[in-house]
Chain A
């Protein structure tokens, strides 16, 4: 819903502006631009522009417009899975989180080809392990236990 997104942005902008005005000084003690100089302008303008955009959308009657249901559902499922993946990375590490996420996503979106899904689910963490861990020697999230 548009209203939700705009409300979230506006709230964030207000918090930002509040902090810019109350936590950060406008000028330094030498009278130069301080840490709060630009944030105050940025925050102030951001709030103004968001209010203007919300009014404009409201006039067009788009603010409360309902989503076409089917469209949003698949995107929402993917977003939900992605967030779960992020949390799982912290808790279980990539070796467990990756096949869980890939497996679940394929099961939902590609339910007709179970065999292929299984193969990809197993191959994904392995490829990541070899490519990132061995070839690139990059760090990977290891979870809470080791």
Chain B
């Protein structure tokens, strides 16, 4: 089986990427400020929803039910979309999905497409694949535009340019907008309103002349064949309504059984992701509008394999809100690039190794990119128990031999209380000789932290000597 592609090269293990990231003080400042702001906003709008716990439970239950009956709902979705005048294509992997989309675009005779922000197309590396066919894809989400113009990589699910501050964005616009279309004004400042206006003018021209659009979908309703996209800027709405051909690449786990289910998710998603009660734009379309063509590409790309895993399958409940990223203390200090996947943060740490397998050093290191603090589980709107999945993945990872030896030795000691007591006594006698800096991998502790003083007497020896303090 070929390795599932997830839109990014996976060469170095997480700890090495992370070590570099934590030393980037500008990055840490940007991330701290941005995640802190979204985190507080989310906490506010979640706290004011009196039935949040019930909504979360409902979201989890609907997704669980759907995933258990995915085969049935996908066929129902296909029938409904086809009946409404759309065409459905099935793609097993990234390459197949890219080929389908490229062929569809080529059939229109166009060489330019506009894109609605979409994780699925990032995941399959669609833009790069289209370029090989002479087709240029233009990102229209403001943050994706910043990433594309800067020849950068997204580092967050919701806010792909979260690692950039406004001064950096001004530079990107001033330098690169002209290469992609309408240039930025000469007197561009880093005032957010000025930056937004420059992007607006740049994108308006693009919307008006492009005939093909590519999107993903937040939800796909099996009952009616309706696609649903939630966004903040209205740029997605432009892409979804203006062009003549619309192609939507949607992961198979995005299906929901019925229209009614949106009641739950249209509350869960905006509050969890942008920290809003309701997102500004919710676009829904069913099949093809008159004079338009609509294609739905249903993407597997490793998802069926995840579905087969009893513990890990809950990752497929994810609605890509990114609340787990915003609350994660590890993500806050490393940023998204360290995760080597378009899915960073806690959800990425369980999704990427499941989709891509644990063949590479990076993918084996991802389940360890967490202190298991549990903040991600607490905020997840569909109650994915990320720490438990991390632990389960760790138990399937290949471990290095020094670690295996260390763990085996510790296990051997703990298997008999006599062995533990003997070790404690030896430690008590040799306590003066414990070095300030430990050798080998243990030195990673003493690089920044003192060791605790080894006591003269263990608790169990004290207990025996004093009869539990009674003597």
A and B: bona fide binding partners:
no
B residues with CB within 8 A of A? none
A residues with CB within 8 A of B? none
